[in-house]
Amino acid sequence: MSDTAYCYHCQRHHPKDEMRQIETKTGKRWRCVKSIEATKGGRNAREAFGRQTTDANKAEAKSKARLVNAER
């Protein structure tokens, strides 16, 4: 149950399953995969990171676009 590490990015603890240990100038530090992907992965990763909150918005936008297309 104590298999967590301090994430210097979020400044909180996560399960190590969801984290990577990376080398920095000051030594090895833990950082969660989500924050790593969101930062270095560019657009796709950032989309994935925010997907939980934007899914509903996207679906709504899509259905609106479809409506507009149908009308034309």
Does residue 7 belong to the site contacting Zn ion (CB under 5 A)? yes
**Hey, which residues between 27 and 56 contact Zn ion (CB under 5 A)?**
32, 35
The distance from CA 62 to its chain's CA centroid, rounded to whole angstroms, is 22
**In terms of CB distance, is 40 or 72 closer to Zn ion?**
40
C-alpha gyration radius of the chain: 18
Does residue 5 belong to the site contacting Zn ion (CB under 5 A)? no
- Report the nearest approach of Zn ion to the CB of residue 29 (Å): 11
Does residue 10 belong to the site contacting Zn ion (CB under 5 A)? yes
CA–CA–CA angle 42, 54, 70 (5° rounding): 110
- Report the nearest approach of Zn ion to the CB of residue 55 (Å): 22
Q: Cα(59)–Cα(63) distance, rounded to whole angstroms?
A: 6
